[in-house]
Chain A
Amino acid sequence: MIELFNLSKRFGNLNAVHSLSFTVRKGEIFGLIGENGAGKTTTLRMLATMLSPTSGTAVLSGYDIVKEPEKVRGKVGILFGGESGLYDRLTVAENIRYFGELNDISIDEINERTKMLADTFGMNDFLHKRAGKLSKGMRQKAAFARAIIHNPDILLLDEPTTGLDVSAIREVQNFILEQKRQGKTVLFSSHTMSEIEKLCDRIAIIHKGKLVAIGTIDELRQQNQNLSLEELFVRLVGEEHEA
């Protein structure tokens, strides 16, 4: 479970995230949508304890991001951006192991989980090849494995499908659905409405750092004359513009 309590972040005079409060329930896929610069990445970075909030806080799996950031990190796996962010000169197994070790997982458990993840994602052929030598698709799988080697309760994904081709996008979407099946909580940001509709149990629309709407897609559509998600997004964000 992820609970935000008036979570705020200022950069100088800019309120990048302004008093966000909402709850992502355990086992739910939750979509965060908003225009460029709406504050999605900043919110996810605060939840991952990379940035500290200017005010407010959030509680992830029972741990407060301000008071117990290290414990929060142990419960969270992240995948930021379409790029997979692996160390090119390390093999896939070494990449996974590095993140496992830094998350205080025992070597035995890392080996066991790596084997399991290699089977799940079909990585056995390239597990011991250097990440830099792999295709984009293979790297994507390695990045998934890296993100969940420590079996986190919560996954924070920032635009995980941006810049990927159709089949890689499907891989990511299947990965997200599989994580839900395993009872994980997934919070992800996206600009692709079809993807949001396909995956999300609930969504939050943010604009200029503020929460504009929250609920299931059906709920939001009912409140807005059954507009399509795209139309209602433009309308909500547009209304805020004029206000």
Chain B
Amino acid sequence: MKLKHIWIVFNKELKDIVRDKKTLFSSILAPIIIIPILMTIVGGSTQKMTQEMYEDITVALTKNSDTESARNFLNSLAELDENIIVADPVDDPWQAINDKEVKLVIELENGFEEKLKNSEPINLTLIYDNSLARSGGAVGTFQATIDRLNTALAVEKLNALGINPDILSLVNVERQNIARTKDGNQFLMMILPMMIALLVAVGGIPAATDLVAGEKERMTLEPLLTTRSSRMSILIGKYLTINLFSFASVISTLAGMVLAYVINPAALSLGQGEIGGFSVEPLAFVLSLLITLLMGMTFSGIQLAISTYARSFKEGQTYLSLLIFAVMIPAYSTMMIMPNDIQPHMFVLPIMNTISAFKLILGGVVNYAELVMATISSIVYVILALLLAAWMFSKEKFMFRS
């Protein structure tokens, strides 16, 4: 193995791939452009949806229960909550809700006003469509308003009886949220590690496909193997190129996310709340970056091995795209896990160790023993993957499979 040959191969592959507009675009340029657009759109629409659930809650009576007193009752509700808007009575609740005329429809029993006056319970039927976020989501706000009305009526009654209405709520709850991170961070903790893991795993695929399977197809592999360069030098040169591309695609994705954040801070959490207030120790941050790089190196090795196995470019593409599923399984299965719930074994399993390390950092709870465990296991995987690639590259039955 000669450094000079490795360098020559690396240089040539880099030049070759950089000139391939397709690969360059899909692995580097696309994330910077597409991610901000996607996140802004999704973030914006989530924000809009949340707004719809809490604001402009249009409520109508059914035609059946449309009486003077029912209208008055509804108006009194609207006075309690400014978000509630009274709409004209409707014939067909389902039609009205689906035509966006109203979000909720209510039906009141006959003679309810008499019963209320006598402090007897009445029935109010709330009609909504849970399959529509704007209708189903409005139920909570409406219910809270009814609760307030109930309390107000009770207070009135107790006052009339000369009893202190405080007995209605003897226990007062005062909420203190001591989460170190903002609401949006929670979301980021679920999504970001998963995304990074996926990207690290797929970023090198276009390069890897081209670098061995592509050479077989173009029949350049044979002359290449007949140069004085050893096979290992060729392999390492190609390995480094794939690595560079997988890192570059991660970096361009992160850049895309930063750009999305700059355009609209809420976009990054897809409208799930504010993000910020991270305090990460530099060493912990460096360790998690290292773990990510190591995962990239592991996958570059695996991709190189798969590309070596493939007979043609197409075959390589097919096998390599299956790799995405291999990453999705651990990535999705750990998505909902929060930093405090990560089990020790997750710091040594492949892919999961990278995701876990990132969650730890984003959650602000740094445990160095676990980070070191993730680092060491990652190094082991890098070596195994590279050995696999080297072994396959040295085997005639894979290199000249027919």
**Contact with B225, one of A50, A86, A88 (Cβ below 8 angstroms):** A50
CA of A85 to CA of B223, assembled, Å: 8
Q: A102 contacts B218, CB within 8 Å? A: no
CB neighbours (8 Å) of A45 from chain B are: 222, 400
Interface flags for B367-402 (1: CB within 8 Å of A; 0: not) read 000000000000000000000000000001001100
**Contact with B222, one of A50, A94, A102, A104 (Cβ below 8 angstroms):** A50
Q: How large is the interface on A (under 10, 10 to 19, 20 to 34, 35 or more residues)?
A: 20 to 34
Q: A73 contacts B219, CB within 8 Å? A: no
Q: A102 contacts B219, CB within 8 Å? A: no
Given contacts A50-B400, A101-B8, contact A94 B15 (CB under 8 A): yes
Q: How large is the interface on B (under 10, 10 to 19, 20 to 34, 35 or more residues)?
A: 20 to 34
Interface flags for A83-111 (1: CB within 8 Å of B; 0: not) read 10111111000100011011110000000
Given contacts A45-B400, A51-B400, A87-B16, contact A104 B219 (CB under 8 A): no
Q: B8 contacts A102, CB within 8 Å? A: yes
Choose among A77, A78, A85, A90 the residue with the greatest number of B CB atoms under 10 Å from its CB. Answer: A85
What's the nearest-Cβ distance from chain B to residue A147, in Å? Answer: 7
What's the nearest-Cβ distance from chain B to residue A191, in Å? Answer: 18
CB neighbours (8 Å) of B223 from chain A are: 78-80, 85, 99, 146-147
What's the nearest-Cβ distance from chain A to residue B315, in Å? Answer: 18
CB neighbours (8 Å) of B227 from chain A are: 73, 99, 102-103
Secondary structure dominating the interface of B: helix
Q: B15 contacts A78, CB within 8 Å? A: no
Q: List 28 A-B contacts (CB under 8 A).
A: A48-B226, A49-B226, A50-B396, A51-B396, A70-B230, A73-B226, A74-B228, A78-B226, A80-B223, A85-B219, A85-B220, A85-B222, A86-B218, A86-B220, A87-B16, A87-B220, A90-B12, A94-B15, A99-B224, A101-B8, A102-B5, A102-B8, A102-B9, A102-B227, A102-B228, A103-B227, A103-B228, A147-B223
Q: Which residues of A contact B (CB under 8 A)?
A: 45, 48-52, 70, 73-74, 76-81, 83, 85-90, 94, 98-99, 101-104, 130, 146-147
Q: Which residues of B contact A (CB under 8 A)?
A: 5, 8-9, 12, 15-16, 19-20, 218-220, 222-230, 396, 399-400
Q: A49-B226, A70-B228 are in contact. List 17 more A-B contacts (CB 8 A).
A: A45-B400, A48-B222, A50-B225, A50-B399, A70-B230, A73-B227, A78-B223, A78-B226, A85-B220, A85-B223, A87-B12, A89-B15, A89-B20, A99-B227, A102-B5, A102-B227, A104-B228
